[in-house]
Structure 1
Amino acid sequence: MTDPLADLTRLEGVGSAVAAAMAAVDTLLRDRGLRQLGDEEVAGSLLSQGRASAALAGVTEGPELLATVRLASELPQLADMLRERPAQALARLHTLWGRGIVPDADLGHPRDDAVAARRLASLLPVLRQPSEAPALVRAAVVEADLICFNAFGRGTGPVARAAAQGLLMAYGVDPRGVVPLAEGHRLLGGYQSRIAAYAVGSGGGVRDWLVHSAQALTRAVEASPVAERLRQD
């Protein structure tokens, strides 16, 4: 069986950037200890994830901010579904985000577009199939792909960023969701330009997005409420 995610990890600079990010997460969680993480720290991190995800879409107030924060808060219940039943999980994420914002008939349904349907069908195995690639690579590819083909129309960005965070949780990188990846992207900057370069489909654009995602995860470690608590202890 081919392993396209592992092939991406071998692109120049990707493996080292991902390894550095994973080491930063491991250090944070080892220093704090997963058993010592309180509900307040988890809730604070998920709130940060939601607010940052909204900010990346240019949203700072109103129903879409509330919807994106609500989406992040539900990730502990949905993370395993993303790994085991990705189509249902993505539909559920869009339904959670879109209730009261998009027409009821559109909730949880991909865009009625042949290209989008084909791209989504090819992406779903990426969420399921075994791979030797680090989970961060899987999460970054899913996030960028969903955004690039605008899987759900309105709400695609928040759903894609929630899916990436959920995959990091489901694959054990950040089981409790205390490292807010979207906040790392917000702090790092350049999110939209990196997504645009990825959409072109060149090896350089894909590589740059994967390196950027790894750097964002490292920044997310620094921004985590858990890291702040450790600095205060």
Structure 2
Amino acid sequence: MTNDPLASLLTLADIEQAFTDARTGVDTALRHRALRRNGGQVAAEIGLRAAVASAALEDHRYDLAAVRAGTITDPVVQGALRVSEALDGLAALWPRAPRQVLARLHVLAARGTVADAELGRLVSGAERIDALAKLVAGNERTPPLLLAAIVHAELLTLRPFAGPAGVVARAAARLTLVSRGFDIRGLVGVEQGHLDREPEYVGSAGAYATGTPDGVRSWLRHYAAAVSAGTDELVRVADEVLAPSGK
């Protein structure tokens, strides 16, 4: 028997296999030889691309090179960059104090886009956020990929914060993957995977919000596919880092 409160979701058609395949791909990518000597460089580039992708999913779309050059002052982009930079420092706190971390993520993401009085404050869904926090806190039973998918979908559905709430949702999902050891160095740019499959991302999130088994299954299938697409992005970045030296 299992005490995993989400275990029944893995019985939905094709979901367990999709998650297994995504995990296998991640494990393979994390053995890329570029990560042995140039892991920091790869992580920095993935963090940048993830932030740009997350902002784009809020319909604040800018060329990656322009953001890298520091010429983009759009507050949503800047917020997504702040969030990306903060994730490593928040990973240990996330499973202990998820509500505190969500508030911090919103402060980072929404500064300059909403009134200061709204930063870190819920505007909706307090009871469901409490339930989500209880699900996250100390949960070592739910497979990390499944837990991250549910965290992400719940926050997208609720949009509990004013302004760029999607940036918070995507960051919380990433924190789940990092804190549970699925992607401990934060190298899988799932945000880019969502952007690469944006129509599916939007559609499956809407399907999840209906609360039907088919809707939840649609989202979980998308999430596994987005992780796989983010893994492909990691391999591309790692290959680019190796290319100048051929090492």
TM-score (norm 2): 0.87
Q: 2:90 aligns with which of 75, 78, 95?
A: 78
Please list, as runs of the form range in 1=range in 2, the aligned pairs for 1:38-117 lying within 5 A after superposition: 38-61=39-62, 62-111=74-123, 113=124, 116-117=125-126
Q: Give the conservation status (yes or no) of the 8 Å contact 1:6–1:131.
A: no
- More moved, 202-211 vs 120-129: 120-129
User: SS of the counterpart of 1:4?
Assistant: coil
Structure 2 CA distance for aligned equivalents of residues 34 and 226 of structure 1 = 7
- More moved, 155-164 vs 65-74: 65-74
Amino acid at match of 1:119: R
Q: How many residues align?
A: 230
Distance 1:37 1:173, change over 3 A: farther
Structure 1 unaligned residues grouped into runs of 5+: none
Structure 2 CA distance for aligned equivalents of residues 2 and 223 of structure 1 = 35
Structure 1 position 209 matched with structure 2 position 224 = no
Displacement, 1:2? Answer: 4.3
- More moved, 75-84 vs 208-217: 75-84
Displacement, 1:30? Answer: 2.0
Aligned partner of 1:9 in structure 2 is 10
Structure 1 position 132 matched with structure 2 position 133 = no
Aligned partner of 1:167 in structure 2 is 176
CA shift digits 1:16-41 (9 cap, x unpaired): 00000010010011233865343211
Structure 1 position 199 matched with structure 2 position 200 = no
Displacement, 1:133? Answer: 3.0
Structure 1 position 120 matched with structure 2 position 121 = no
User: SS of the counterpart of 2:184?
Assistant: coil
Structure 1 CA distance for aligned equivalents of residues 166 and 138 of structure 2 = 23
Amino acid at match of 2:163: R
Structure 2 CA distance for aligned equivalents of residues 204 and 134 of structure 1 = 20
Structure 2 CA distance for aligned equivalents of residues 135 and 227 of structure 1 = 27
CA shift digits 1:120-151 (9 cap, x unpaired): 11111111243533201101101110110111
Aligned partner of 2:197 in structure 1 is 188
RMSD value, Cα = 1.8
Structure 1 position 154 matched with structure 2 position 169 = no
- More moved, 58-67 vs 29-38: 29-38
Structure 2 CA distance for aligned equivalents of residues 24 and 230 of structure 1 = 20
Displacement, 1:94? Answer: 0.5
Displacement, 1:73? Answer: 1.5
Structure 2 CA distance for aligned equivalents of residues 77 and 14 of structure 1 = 31
Structure 2 CA distance for aligned equivalents of residues 34 and 139 of structure 1 = 24
Displacement, 1:79? Answer: 1.5
User: SS of the counterpart of 1:52?
Assistant: helix
Amino acid at match of 2:54: S
Q: 2:186 aligns with which of 169, 177, 181?
A: 177
Identity across the alignment (%): 37
CA shift digits 1:167-200 (9 cap, x unpaired): 1111111111111101011112311111000000
Structure 1 position 18 matched with structure 2 position 30 = no
Could you list the structure 1 runs, at least 4 aligned residues long, displaced by more than 6 angstroms after superposition.
Answer: none
TM-score (norm 1): 0.92
Structure 1 CA distance for aligned equivalents of residues 169 and 18 of structure 2 = 22
Q: Give the conservation status (yes or no) of the 8 Å contact 2:58–2:166.
A: yes
